[in-house]
Chain A
């Protein structure tokens, strides 16, 4: 017992000092103000939170929410069939499918985002191809558009959605499906009433992962959206590294984390409510 405490202390200290304390400081700073030079002034102020209610920032906040939710929905729609396919395939295809889905996790997202610059820019691969095939007469502006940002987000986070759904489908009791078909249920009915509800936990995990990752990802807007589009995370980053308005940046960070938590909670609630209704219906 004594030995285990002795082993645990360094980790505990490390995480408190470099994880918990820094986050508490950020929450603290969000209630302070700053002087003209950007130095923090130690007096209570809601200045940071007030700045957030500027229409400019409220607009960006709303755009972030929409973009993140849109990314989540698109990821879900394209990933579910893929996860379903892998879960129902032969063991050989399953193994390979999983490897192919996991590998992108370990390729830097910076590189994966950059790949789209290569593809989408005016002299890029896609435009060259379209020109060569004679489908267009002059290059289309694809880079630095909203579509490019959305595409980049979806592209980066598809694996986050596929894996949890796959895991849920894989753990499902397949005998239920046999029972359903024995009892005369169509494939669609069996899917609708058995597979889908059973994979809910996977959808849930995937959606949370994609949502949280998207809303915190300032690099994709930075690289694929150019200067035009920005998200809350871009503003946060600018406040800390450029503008040096730390109380505002800290307030935004608190709002950012709080929003994610509330959405996760709401989502969780909605899923459970649906689950109960399905349960009662049976």
Chain B
């Protein structure tokens, strides 16, 4: 658009950004505030961070979250990538159907996904625990991996692969030396997204986690319901930093892999 934006629009946009970011920045500031209760600033401290690392419940939840995130990321990356690769060779009809199925976990409200998995596990007499959380996380993560890898695949033609096969490469060699290096940025950023989603998920985990498999978001929820505490500010600050770092990294890898063609936003 050549016409310049109206100044009022600029002010509105600035206020909106402030509206979005001030609350988040408040958490970060208050995580360094040397008071347990008051809303006033009482001086700088790192005590709340220190006490986090001494808190057995926090450390346990952290370990649970990391275990779940690592395993679900590996499995969902494998499944999502396999789906993206095989769908490319599918006929038009099969592809549309499978595409719909793979998008389903993105569209279905988390609450429905959570409760239906709870029902399934209870009908199959599977006790709720880390395994059930991992299964749930794989189910929603694999779609995101699929979306990212597919976007990457659609950006590259089939010519290189065909050329390799014409030159006598076996299907495995073609995959290993031609396709894989090309889609690697997609796979890596898909994995990073899966990891972040798993680390951040509350809704689905809430339904399928057992007493022994409390993850960080579930721990935060329980604490927040009891009221505010400076330790939670510190924990939230750390989680914010980790999520944003991972996502920016994913975006960076995807952009660099794409050369000049820039992905403006991550698929969501």
Contacts and interface: CB of A to CB of B under 8 A. Distances in A.
Contact of A115 (B12, B27, B111, B239): B27
Interface in A84-126: 84-89, 95, 97-98, 100-119, 121, 123-125
Contact of A81 (B1, B9, B112, B136): B9
Contact of B85 (A4, A88, A187, A237): A4
Most buried by B among A21, A101, A115: A115
B249 to A, nearest CB: 11
Interface string B193-212: 00010001011001100000
A81 B26 contact: no
Nearest to B138: A14
B154 interface: no
Interface string B47-77: 0000000000000000000000000000000
A112 B265 contact: no
Given A106-B243, A240-B207, A118 B23 contact: yes
B86 A155 contact: no
A169 B2 CA distance: 14
Interface string A235-253: 0110011000010011001
Nearest to A97: B13
A31 interface: no
A88 B1 contact: yes
A219 B115 contact: no
Contacts of A256: 109, 112
B9 A125 contact: no
B21 to A, nearest CB: 8
Given A19-B113, A84-B9, A11 B82 contact: yes
Contacts of B264: 95, 98
A47 interface: no
A82 B13 contact: yes
Given A11-B83, A125-B39, A108 B27 contact: no
Task: Decide if the interface of chain A is mainly helix, strand, loop or mixed.
Answer: helix
A253 to B, nearest CB: 6
* Range for the number of chain A residues in contact with chain B: 35 or more
Contact of B116 (A4, A25, A121, A159): A25
A138 to B, nearest CB: 14
Contact of A253 (B80, B115, B233): B115
A128 B26 contact: no
A58 B101 CA distance: 33
A149 interface: no
B228 interface: yes
B119 A108 contact: no
A108 B243 contact: yes
Interface string B229-268: 0001100100110011011000000000000000011101
B26 A118 contact: yes
Given A84-B9, A85-B12, A111 B236 contact: yes
B24 interface: yes
Sorted from nearest, which 8 A-B pairs have the closest CB atoms?
A115-B23, A22-B116, A216-B109, A128-B39, A7-B86, A4-B86, A22-B120, A4-B89
Interface of B: 1-3, 5, 9-10, 12-13, 16-17, 19-21, 23-24, 26-27, 30, 37-40, 79-80, 82-83, 85-90, 98, 101-102, 104-105, 108-113, 115-120, 123, 135-136, 138-139, 142, 171, 196, 200, 202-203, 206-207, 217, 220-221, 224-225, 228, 232-233, 236, 239-240, 243-244, 246-247, 264-266, 268
